[in-house]
Amino acid sequence: SDLMHNFLTNEILYSLYEDYAILEMNDEYLKFVRKVQQYKKLDNKDERREYGQYIYDTHLNSAVATEEIYLDSRTKLPLVAIVKKNEFPKDLFNKAYSKTYSNLAFDSFPRFYQHVTKPQLSICLSDAVLCLVGIVCVVNMLRLGDFLMALGLLIIAIAAGFGVIRFYGYKPEILIPIHKYFSKLGGTVGICLAAVSIIVHSNIETYELSAGNTIMVIVCLFSLEYFNFPLDVSRIPVVVIALVSSVYSYNLKPALGLLLMPIAGLVIGSEGNFRGTAILNVDILHYLLAVSIVLLTMHA
């Protein structure tokens, strides 16, 4: 189906499907489909032979396969015969691919899609609180003329807004990549903009440091867009920026708010439950971010 194709061709969506397939212990079929898609794109015969042999040994060669998939003999035997001749045409895995793809489309994928579209109300609520707090604080910052802080908090509020829609289960194939992008943007660039704002409003003699933070905003944005750093890695320089900026802040409340944002992301994170309880870490993170946003706006 077109919907399943979207999940297989988008890295973010595929990783979600793969995690689910691992839980169901049938991820070898998903990986086979993904690898064959890559195989078909290879025009160089030597590269195709090497990669085709790798696919065969990993998924179809019963003697050595580490992630073997089941195929009926009518499909598998002709394929094995071609491989034994050391021939690797582009259509080598076509029949095996079609059968495996169809099995996923009618069995595993519908269960997965039902899973990702099931509303997660506690996350919806915590994201909604974060979004509303962010919007109120953005309006207040605009009234005070603090456009840097307003922009930083707006990015975070937008991410939370997309989170509400995503975790309600609406169109995950569209919302998940958008939500993840804005979450990264808010966790790095949003915090950096807040840091610049605090420096500017703390000490008129520290414009050199403000310029340095501005440069770091550009660096973080560039790294997210072109190098695709993981969010936890991207947060590390942001913690440093927040720490340095807080030192120059004469107001304790925004300094605490600035430090709370990236540190909460690193320490608590957005995966799993809090110490084995039913409370989700992501909900705690959202409420802490809402508190930190309020603290940030107390610099004026």
Q: Would you give per-residue pLDDT tens digits along the chain (300 residues)?
A: 678 888 888 888 888 888 888 888 888 999 999 999 999 999 999 999 999 999 999 999 888 989 999 999 999 999 999 999 999 999 999 999 999 999 999 888 888 888 878 878 888 999 999 999 999 999 999 998 888 889 989 999 999 999 999 888 777 778 888 888 888 888 777 877 887 777 776 654 544 555 555 555 555 554 544 444 444 444 555 555 555 555 555 566 777 777 777 777 766 766 767 777 778 888 888 898 899 899 888 865
Runs of H (alpha helix) within 41-120: 45-59, 73-84, 94-103, 109-117
Report the alpha-carbon distance of residue 52 to residue 35 in Å, rounded: 9
Single-letter residue type at 253 = K
Q: Report the pLDDT value the prediction gives residue 234, as an integer from 0 to 100.
A: 47
CA 211 to chain centre: 29
Q: Give me the pLDDT at residue 34, please.
A: 92
* Predicted pLDDT of residue 227: 46
Measured distance CA(56)–CA(127) in Å, rounded: 45
220 torsion bin: left (phi>0), alpha (psi -120 to 50), beta (else)? alpha
Task: Kindly compute the dihedral angle of the four CA atoms of residues 14, 227, 180, 114, in this order, to the nearest 10 degrees.
Answer: 0
Number of neighbouring beta carbons within 10 Å of residue 44:
9
Could you give the CA distance from residue 58 to residue 31 in angstroms, rounded to a whole number? 10
pLDDT of residue 261: 75
d(CA 177, CA 171): 11
* 51, amino acid identity: Y
Helix axes 27-40, 94-103, angle to 10 degrees: 140
Burial of 65 (0-12, 13-18, 19+ CB in 10 A): middle
- Residue 273: what are its φ and ψ, rounded to 5°? -110, 160
Residues 6 or more apart in contact with residue 59 via CB below 8 angstroms: 28, 31, 32, 35, 65, 67, 68, 69
Query: Are the CB atoms for 144 and 49 separated by under 8 Å?
Result: no
DSSP state for residue 170 in the 8-state scheme: S
Distance between CA atoms of 68 and 148, rounded to whole angstroms? 54
Per-residue pLDDT, 232? 46
Supply the pLDDT for residue 270. 66
pLDDT of residue 225: 45
Report the pLDDT value the prediction gives residue 226, as an integer from 0 to 100: 43
pTM of the model: 0.67
